[in-house]
Amino acid sequence: MIKIDHLTKRYGKTLAVDDLDFEVQPGVVTGFLGPNGSGKSTTMRIILGLDHASKGRATINGKRYCDLKSPLHEVGALLDAKAVHPGRTARNHLRALAASNKIDKSRVDEVLEFAGIASVANKKVGGFSMGMSQRLGIAGALLGDPGVLLFDEPVNGLDPEGIKWIREFFQSLAREGRTVFVSSHLMSEMAVSADQIIVIGRGKFITRGSIDELTATVQGTVFVRASDTTKLTEILTSDEGLVQRINDNGLSVSGLTSDRIGELAFSSGVVIHELTPQRASLEEVFMDLTADAVEYGSHSMGAVDE
Amino acid sequence: MTMVSAVKSEWIKFRSVRSTIMGVIVTFVLTIGLGALISVAVRGHYSQMDPLRKLTFDPVSTSLGGTLFAQFAVGVIGALFITSEYSSGSIRSSLAAIPDRTQLAIAKLVVLFLSLLVVCEVACFITFQLGQTIFSGVVPTASLSSGVVLRSVILAGLYLTLLSLLGFSLGLILRHSAACISVFTSLLLILPIVLFLMPQSWQNRAAKYEPSQLGQSMMSPTSSVDGFGTWTALLLLTIYVAVAFITGVILLNRRDAGVN
């Protein structure tokens, strides 16, 4: 189990992590979702003892990382797949890691085989593609057969086959009772790979829950086609509905349920041709959740304020 | 986790990159090759040398002249051993495997010291013997059967080894390869030039503290008038390395290792 205890990290004036406080439970895949620059990687680096917390602490099974006697046996991590000496072979990279934690040499070949890079084990890492580097990173994380695993943006650079493989791999790790903590800035990725999602923005905790729970918190819209959209707009607006005209006889309504829209239309004699609830898309949910917390928001170019 | 496994891990890392292998080859070429070249040149000009210089001629430090050039090669080997971890980012996986940063730094220091000691001693003994062979018949020679001569050759190897540790310690402090190699080279080359431009009285007092002057004191059988004695020179150089290393370890512990 990973426990983040009122964690704060400041780099000079920048507040990268702001009083984060949550737990990551074993047995499920926990997603760590947030826009770029929201503090996901910083949090992971602090969990691994690479960066020092300004306030609060992160513990693994009750201990700080630097107090672990043989850390690779307890925690496996893939933070940056390219962070390997380019002139060293994959096998030598893993052998050096294994030796530091008294892991048997035969385990190196096992994880190379498992990650699907046994055939390039004696090649220099500098020539590896991003996907191969990711696989090497995963092999390194598995070396000590740890109960806690951290992956920072693991699907970056993987081909579709690799992505499918890694999703199934995370699920199987979780089924074995391990703690699996995976970060991503893509809600759609989290939706298919994570059981639980923790959402942060600008270093702050926003919410957590399953994908269904998160989607439910954001209200969808209802698409309405009707005979007299002008009259319907009037009625719906007076009942606190938010109406947006899509085309000549189509409206997008938010703030009202489809039932309520139907009742209002019936009582005022407007004929309804179509009444379709639209579930918020994953991207909409994500944007809605993190709207106030986007570090590098895009601004429309050349827009003139009116 | 023990120091022994940390040392094993660092030993695998040290010998599994080309920069180490190249550095060792360059160290041999500079120590032995340039040492032999100097010896051949001295043999050719010995007859024309003025009597006073003949009187103070030292066949030991002359044959070890290649170390003056090899000191840059060993400094680079030491520096790259840590700066390449920062430039590639592999320092993060190293620290994730060995969270005790002091232990990681000591393990690296041990690996560097032991492997460079072997390399540098072998290089110095070969260049010494080669030099005496070149000198024989024309120029006075020295023999390892003499205690002071043996000591000088051993200390020449130790001098180079300590300089590689100095390069490594600077690497711990500076973290960037280019910055580290510039500072190391400046200490050995630029500092003496700056000192040379200072008033004579300053030169007399300060020059003997330069690392390369300490090296000369360590590897000549007779102590010179304006330099330190052999053991004082060794002690001073060791103190330089210790101060740089301890500073580096303190910084390593204090700084974040996540982002470069």
In this predicted model, what pLDDT tens digit does every residue of B179-224 receive, in sequence order?
999 999 999 999 888 988 989 888 888 889 999 999 999 998 887 7
Residues of chain A in contact with residue B258, where contact means CB-CB under 8 angstroms, are 41-42, 45, 50-51
Average pLDDT, whole number, for chain B? 94
Amino acid at B172: L
Q: Which among B163, B155, B160 is positioned nearest to B245, based on CA atoms? A: B163
- The verdict on a CB contact (< 8 Å) between B85 and A85 is yes
Q: B135 CA to chain A: closest CA distance, Å?
A: 42
Question: Which residues, 6+ apart, have CB-to-CB distance to B45 below 8 Å?
Answer: none
Q: B224 — phi, psi (to 5°)?
A: -85, 165
Residues of chain B in contact with residue A95, where contact means CB-CB under 8 angstroms, are 12
pLDDT of residue A296: 52
A69's enclosing H/E stretch is none
pLDDT of residue A302: 41
pLDDT of residue A306: 34
Secondary structure (3-state) at A60: strand
Please state, in angstroms and rounded to a whole number, the distance separating the CA atoms of residues A233 and A238.
8
- The verdict on a CB contact (< 8 Å) between A84 and B88 is yes
Please state, in angstroms and rounded to a whole number, the distance separating the CA atoms of residues B181 and B192.
17
CB count within 10 Å of CB A291 equals 11
Q: Chain A window 136-165: which residues touch B at a Cβ cutoff of 8 Å?
A: 140
Q: What is the DSSP string of chain B?
A: --HHHHHHHHHHHHHTSHHHHHHHHHHHIIIIIIHHHHHHHHHHHGGGS-HHHHHH--HHHHHTTTHHHHHHHHHHHHHHHHHHHHHHSTHHHHHHH---HHHHHHHHHHHHHHHHHHHHHHHHHHHHHHHHHHHTTTS----TTSHHHHHHHHHHHHHHHHHHHHHHHHHHHH--HHHHHHHHHIIIIIHHHHHHTS-HHHHHHHGGGSHHHHHHHHH-SS--SSS--HHHHHHHHHHHHHHHHHHHHHHHHHS-SS--
- The verdict on a CB contact (< 8 Å) between B17 and A85 is yes
Residues of chain B in contact with residue A70, where contact means CB-CB under 8 angstroms, are 1
- Put simply, whether B18 touches A (Cβ < 8 Å) is yes
Tell me the sheet residues that pair with B165.
Answer: none
- CB nearest to A71's CB, from B10, B13, B97: B97
Contact B128, B60 (CB under 8 A): yes
Contact A192, A167 (CB under 8 A): yes
- The verdict on a CB contact (< 8 Å) between A100 and B6 is yes
Q: Which of A69, A82, A85 has the most B C-beta neighbours within 10 Å, making it the best mutation to test the interface with B?
A: A85
Q: What is the DSSP string of A141-177?
A: HHTT--SEEEEESTTTT--HHHHHHHHHHHHHHHHTT
- The verdict on a CB contact (< 8 Å) between B258 and A92 is no
For chains A and B, what is the number of CB pairs under 8 angstroms? 95
- Put simply, whether B257 touches A (Cβ < 8 Å) is yes
| DSSP label at residue A124 | B
Please state, in angstroms and rounded to a whole number, the distance separating the CA atoms of residues B161 and B78.
9
Residues of chain A in contact with residue B256, where contact means CB-CB under 8 angstroms, are 45, 50-52
Structure-model confidence comparison of residues B52 and A125, the more confident one? A125
- The verdict on a CB contact (< 8 Å) between A52 and B99 is no
- The verdict on a CB contact (< 8 Å) between A87 and B19 is yes
Q: A179 — phi, psi (to 5°)?
A: -90, 120
pLDDT of residue A304: 40
Counting as low any pLDDT under 70, the low residues of chain A are 292-306
Please state, in angstroms and rounded to a whole number, the distance separating the CA atoms of residues B206 and B227.
10
pLDDT of residue A303: 39
- The verdict on a CB contact (< 8 Å) between A100 and B16 is no
The predicted model scores a pTM of 0.88
Both structure tokens of B17? 């990159």
Q: Chain A window 42-101: which residues touch B at a Cβ cutoff of 8 Å?
A: 42, 45, 48-52, 65-66, 68-72, 75, 77, 79-80, 82-89, 92-93, 95-97, 99-101
- Put simply, whether B3 touches A (Cβ < 8 Å) is no
Give the residue from chain B lying closest to A80, CA to CA. B89
Residues of chain B in contact with residue A100, where contact means CB-CB under 8 angstroms, are 1, 5-6, 8-9, 94, 97-98
Farthest-apart Cα atoms in chain A, separation: 79
What is the 3-state secondary structure of A196-239?
Answer: EEEEEECCEEEEEECHHHHHHHCCCEEEEEECCHHHHHHHHHHC
Q: Chain B window 60-99: which residues touch A at a Cβ cutoff of 8 Å?
A: 84-85, 88-90, 92-99
Q: What is the pLDDT of residues B61-95, one digit of tens each?
A: 999 999 999 999 999 999 999 999 999 999 999 99
- CB nearest to B98's CB, from A89, A100, A140: A100
Give the residue from chain A lying closest to B3, CA to CA. A100
Tell me the sheet residues that pair with A9.
Answer: A17
- CB nearest to A71's CB, from B8, B92, B99: B99
Question: Backbone dihedral region of A157: left (phi > 0), alpha (psi from -120 to 50 degrees) or beta?
Answer: left
Both structure tokens of A20? 């984060």
Give the sign of the dihedral formed by CA B172, CA B174, CA B177, CA B182.
Answer: negative
> What is the side-by-side strand order in the sheet with A179-184?
A75-78, A148-152, A179-184, A29-33, A196-201, A204-209
Give the residue from chain A lying closest to B19, CA to CA. A87
Both structure tokens of B55? 């009187």
Both structure tokens of B161? 């080894």
Both structure tokens of B67? 């170390």
Please state, in angstroms and rounded to a whole number, the distance separating the CA atoms of residues A25 and A4.
12
Please state, in angstroms and rounded to a whole number, the distance separating the CA atoms of residues B68 and B72.
8
Rounded to the nearest 10 degrees, the angle between the axes of helix B211-219 and helix B230-254 is 140
Alpha helices in chain A (DSSP H): 40-47, 71-74, 90-100, 105-115, 130-142, 160-175, 187-193, 211-217, 229-238, 258-267, 282-290
Please state, in angstroms and rounded to a whole number, the distance separating the CA atoms of residues A156 and A88.
23
Contact B30, B110 (CB under 8 A): no
- CB nearest to B256's CB, from A51, A92, A101: A51
- The verdict on a CB contact (< 8 Å) between B93 and A48 is no
pLDDT of residue A301: 47
Using pLDDT thresholds of 50, 70 and 90, give the confidence band for residue B6: very high
- CB nearest to B93's CB, from A68, A75, A140: A140
Amino acid at A178: R
Q: Assess whether pLDDT exceeds 60 at residue B260.
A: no
- CB nearest to A68's CB, from B10, B12, B99: B99
